[in-house]
Structure 1
Amino acid sequence: MRTGASPARFADLRKALGLCILSAFIAVAGPAHADMAEIKQRGEIKVATEDDYAPFNFIRDGKPAGFHAELLEDFKQYAAESGLKVNQEILPWTGLLAAVSGGQYDLAYTGALVTDERLRVFNFAPPFASAQHYYVKRAGDTRLGDIASLSGKTLGVQAGSALLARLPELEKMLKAQGGSLGKVVEYQSYPEAYADLANGRLDYVVNAVISVNDLVKARPGVFEKGMAVSGNGFAAWPVPKNSPELLTFTEGFMKKIRDNGRLKELQVKWFGEAFPDLPTEPITTQKQFHALAGLE
């Protein structure tokens, strides 16, 4: 199991976001996004996923594994109740969102983070996981124990990532306690940042909570989870803006697995904890996202 985010995943974030924004302009001319009438006519929901983003989707012993691999069977059963099949295709992350925004697929079946840029092109199904940012430190480093102790310390983060974009939240937390944000070192991949943290070149690294949990589980004697350094963040399925009925369909599915306990079961198994306070409604606007994430 990979610890942290895929090296390609955030290194190409600016490129992927650029493609999404471009797709938003193309949408004015009307790309063909299917809604439920067309989906029911063809008899299947076409979903795009990736296979290199543990613990969401990855390959173990030559077979798909992770949160989404298990949840796929539940989604197929839910779709079958409406007479539909689910056709899943695996794509590289760098082209996945652009393929969905361009109408080749109906939704992105992956752990995409909700961001302002993506909300220009997509609505998001109700979140299935937190993406709140935490700091991770070397195991046994007693210098770091709370937010104030991070003042002036050197930190590592993925270049061009959503994590980097939200560092001003940590800076604001530190200023409120009379401290300041230390030197920020940007990395092309999180494994590089973790290596420098282990070797003492960094004091801490900032990443999303699930990636931090995954890292600490894999290397408990090397790394230790710290505290939250941002407001709320969310991982959810992106659905094209002009597929509102499909968005409602995904909302029904998330409600079902939330009510029957299946979502909590898979969260604990794959993410290391349950997230009972996630929004239960789709996220469709930047204003709504900012309110939910505490960015206003």
Structure 2
Amino acid sequence: MTSSFSRRHALGLLAAPLAVPLFSHAASAATLEEIKKRGYMIVATEDDFRPFEFVKDGKPTGFDNELLEDLRKFAPFQVKQEIIPWTGLLAGVSTGKYDVALTAAIITKERKKSLDFTSPIADATHYYVKRKGDTSITSIKDLSGKTCGVQAGSALLGRLPELETMLKKDGGKLGKVVEYTSYPEAYQDLALKRVDYVVNTIINIKALVTEKPTVFEIGQAVSGKSYPAWAVAKDNKELLAFLNEFIGKEKANGRFAELQKKWFNESFPDLPVTFEPEF
């Protein structure tokens, strides 16, 4: 994949390696027993990743934040929350700064080198979004040579070669790729015609188009199946089992589907219990 990047987003590029840690987890990552002994667990959530996590009127809300409130009732210890930008969130879990990445982190082969993931919490198949009424893009082949926006350090960036393969089948090519520190920045540039399309998960794009139907329009899938989940440091098996127990309970009592319908306008009853990514 050949990509060129905008200088104005150099900060995102510098931070990108932190978002997908390549190192194994440090000994400082707390086990479930250690968390119980100290009396609290620290979870990290994103500051602006609608509809999973965001801040409204000064309060955290979204799918994951509502689950977090349920987790606080389920856990036999205090659950503290740190709301931070995406870049650095997963690295913070790998090194033990945070115990859990309570965010919709897409499961990838690279991330599984330093993290373990819970059961998937939603569908994260990648789609493109374009400006409403942009007739220059009516199908995937029309993306050839056009400027793409994507979040720095994201799994979506790592799977752009799938889109590149689709384009090559029709004699096309992947155009310039601009990385952003957050998706709201990418959407703003899309609206201002600084990029031609943005790649994100179907849930995030649906939320965007629902919020701004006169500005944006959903395109087509540009990846195979993909799933997001919460993450803990590699081999932190007891903590992972604790979180999966909670997720299983929420699914069994109908709460999971209820929140999915509330925030995604659909539920995902057939999510796999575990997922081994191809990419």
Q: Above 0.5 in TM-score? A: yes
Q: CA deviation at 1:12?
A: 5.8
The AA in structure 1 aligned to 2:16 is R
Q: CA deviation at 1:215?
A: 1.6
Matches of 1:179 and 1:171 in 2, distance apart?
10
Q: Structure 1 pair 257/248, CA: closer, same or farther in 2 (3 Å)?
A: same
The DSSP-based 3-state class of the residue aligned with 1:134 is strand
Q: Structure 1 pair 182/102, CA: closer, same or farther in 2 (3 Å)?
A: closer
Q: CA deviation at 1:201?
A: 5.0
Counterpart residue number, 2:68: 72
Q: Quick check: 2:147–2:178 contact (8 Å CA) kept in 1?
A: no
1:47 aligns with 2:43: yes
The AA in structure 2 aligned to 1:66 is G
Counterpart residue number, 1:16: 18
The AA in structure 1 aligned to 2:58 is G
Q: CA deviation at 1:263?
A: 1.4
Q: Structure 1 pair 13/215, CA: closer, same or farther in 2 (3 Å)?
A: farther
Indicate the percent of aligned positions where both proteins have the same amino acid.
50
Of 56, 62, 65, 2:58 maps to: 62
1:122 aligns with 2:115: yes
Counterpart residue number, 1:181: 173
Of 260, 265, 269, 1:276 maps to: 269
Matches of 1:141 and 1:251 in 2, distance apart?
43
Counterpart residue number, 2:251: 258
The TM-score normalised by the length of structure 1 is 0.78
Matches of 2:180 and 2:81 in 1, distance apart?
27
Q: Structure 1 pair 56/33, CA: closer, same or farther in 2 (3 Å)?
A: same
Residue segments in structure 1 that go unaligned for 5+ positions in a row: 1-6
Q: Quick check: 1:156–1:202 contact (8 Å CA) kept in 2?
A: yes
Counterpart residue number, 1:216: 209
Matches of 1:270 and 1:224 in 2, distance apart?
19
Q: CA deviation at 1:169?
A: 0.5
Q: Quick check: 2:149–2:199 contact (8 Å CA) kept in 1?
A: yes
Matches of 1:112 and 1:265 in 2, distance apart?
21
1:289 aligns with 2:253: no
Q: Any residues of structure 2 matched to 1:165-204 within 5 Å, and which?
A: 165-176=158-169, 178-189=170-181, 190-200=183-193, 202-204=195-197
The DSSP-based 3-state class of the residue aligned with 2:277 is helix
The worse-fitting range, judged by mean Cα deviation, of 264-273 and 115-124 is 264-273
Q: Quick check: 1:157–1:163 contact (8 Å CA) kept in 2?
A: yes
Matches of 1:144 and 1:35 in 2, distance apart?
50
The DSSP-based 3-state class of the residue aligned with 2:139 is coil
Q: Structure 1 pair 213/45, CA: closer, same or farther in 2 (3 Å)?
A: same
Q: Structure 1 pair 248/215, CA: closer, same or farther in 2 (3 Å)?
A: same
Counterpart residue number, 1:106: 99
Of 80, 92, 111, 2:84 maps to: 92
Of 134, 137, 154, 2:130 maps to: 137
Q: CA deviation at 1:153?
A: 4.2
Q: CA deviation at 1:192?
A: 4.6
Q: Structure 1 pair 265/96, CA: closer, same or farther in 2 (3 Å)?
A: same
Per-residue CA distance 1:15-36 (angstroms, 9 max, x = gap): 3146x324x1x63xxx133333
The DSSP-based 3-state class of the residue aligned with 1:126 is coil
The AA in structure 2 aligned to 1:183 is G
Counterpart residue number, 2:34: 38
Q: Quick check: 1:49–1:88 contact (8 Å CA) kept in 2?
A: no
The AA in structure 1 aligned to 2:17 is K
Matches of 1:77 and 1:263 in 2, distance apart?
15
Q: Structure 1 pair 181/265, CA: closer, same or farther in 2 (3 Å)?
A: farther
Of 194, 200, 204, 1:207 maps to: 200
Counterpart residue number, 1:231: 224
Matches of 1:50 and 1:200 in 2, distance apart?
27
The DSSP-based 3-state class of the residue aligned with 1:34 is coil
- State the number of aligned residues: 269
The DSSP-based 3-state class of the residue aligned with 1:109 is strand
Counterpart residue number, 1:157: 150
